[in-house]
């Protein structure tokens, strides 16, 4: 009796639906990253313009700081999905095909473990901020949710790396 290597038609349909959903979430977060980047530009421009008239934009520092973290967190899954991270491949290309496959799989597994730990740590940090009632310096906005967004982003990176591990040579998205 042989074991089928390909997933059944029903499972294939669920996997395709899952991959399409993952793509949509990553693309939506890329738009969020762009919006947060624009917000940083607008707030900074407003702050600089107001300083010309000896006025200030109260909370500009808080808004830019939060928008910067959200930009990073939202762009990380997209960059991972398109395989846009910088890689040094000098030694990698000197390996044979089996060596490259083994090193690639090992690096993806290590990356999944790292981002899984980062997600767990961000949730723990967010919980501690929530318990302490931590707020931003000038606007007094609660900030416990920012590490939760970063944790979600790290969790998505784990799922994207799993996709890359199970689909060698394919990016989840094209740029």
pLDDT for 45-97, tens place per residue? 999 999 999 998 899 999 999 999 999 999 999 999 998 877 777 777 788 88
Distance of alpha carbon 105 from alpha carbon 111, whole angstroms: 10
pLDDT for 113-146, tens place per residue? 999 999 999 999 999 999 999 999 999 999 999 9
């Amino acid at each position: 009796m042989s074991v089928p290597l390909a997933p059944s038609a029903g499972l294939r349909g669920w996997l395709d639906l899952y991959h399409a959903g993952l793509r949509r979430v990553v693309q939506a977060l890329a738009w969020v990253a762009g919006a947060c980047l624009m917000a940083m530009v607008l707030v900074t421009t407003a702050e600089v313009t107001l300083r010309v008239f000896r006025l200030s934009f109260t909370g500009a520092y808080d808004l830019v700081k939060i928008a910067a973290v959200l930009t990073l967190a939202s762009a990380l899954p997209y960059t991972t999905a398109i395989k846009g991270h910088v890689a040094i491949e000098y030694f990698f290309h000197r390996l044979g095909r089996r060596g490259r496959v083994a090193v690639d799989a090992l690096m993806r597994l290590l990356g999944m473990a790292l981002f899984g730990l980062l997600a767990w740590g961000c949730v723990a940090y967010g919980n501690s901020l929530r318990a302490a009632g931590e707020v931003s310096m000038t606007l007094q906005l609660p900030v416990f949710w920012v590490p939760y967004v970063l944790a979600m982003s790290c969790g998505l990176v784990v799922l994207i790396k799993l996709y890359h591990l199970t689909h060698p040579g394919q990016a989840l998205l094209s740029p």
